[in-house]
């Protein structure tokens, strides 16, 4: 189906997200730092990025801002993954360009449903931007 980048500094969280999404047919990639995520996003055409907020060096909010400023990566939907569940944190995620927000620990069906929706959305957006969509 789609290409998904999972970004989290904790390997266990990456593994958990991959296990939840493994039967959906997506090709999955991962990064354990914000800088690696930015590098991979420029080198690949992802349909979705699952992005942790609390990371050393560059946090998820900063990664999102940089992705949204770049012409090549600005249209990739970003779902924030976080243990932070305050209204302030969630509002900030949306304000800087996040498409959605999933609170850890993940509810499997929520992550699967949201990931599939945004992969489809990105593919439709791409078709529309390239004049292939006539609907």
CATH of the domain at 37: 3.40.50.2300
Q: pTM (2 decimals)?
A: 0.94
Say how many domains are in the chain.
1
Q: Is 27 helix (H, G, I), strand (E, B) or coil?
A: strand
- Answer yes or no: is 134 within a domain: no
The rounded distance, in Å, linking the Cα atoms of 91 and 94 is 5
Cα–Cα distance between 36 and 21 in angstroms, integer?
Answer: 21
pLDDT in single tens digits along all 135 residues of the chain: 899 999 999 999 999 999 999 999 999 999 999 999 999 999 999 999 999 999 999 999 999 999 999 999 999 999 999 998 899 999 999 999 999 999 999 999 999 999 999 999 998 887 777 776 554
45: in domain: yes
In a domain, residue 135? The reply is no
Q: How far is CA 121 from the centre of its chain?
A: 13
Residue 55 forms part of a structural domain: yes
Is there a domain that residue 94 lies in?
yes
Expressed as residue numbers, the domain containing 66 is 3-129
């Amino acid at each position: 189906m789609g290409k998904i980048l999972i970004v989290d500094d904790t390997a266990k969280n990456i593994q958990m997200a991959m296990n939840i999404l493994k039967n959906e047919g997506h090709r999955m990639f991962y990064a354990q730092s914000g800088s690696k995520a930015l590098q991979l996003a420029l080198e690949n055409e992802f349909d979705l990025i699952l992005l942790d907020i609390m990371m050393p060096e560059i946090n998820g909010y900063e990664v999102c801002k940089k992705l949204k400023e770049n012409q090549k990566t600005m249209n990739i939907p970003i779902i924030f993954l976080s243990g932070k569940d305050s209204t302030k944190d969630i509002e900030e995620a949306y304000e800087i360009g996040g498409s959605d927000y999933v609170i850890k620990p993940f509810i499997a069906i929520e992550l699967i449903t949201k990931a599939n929706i945004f992969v489809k959305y990105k593919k439709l957006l791409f078709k529309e931007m390239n004049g292939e969509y006539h609907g």
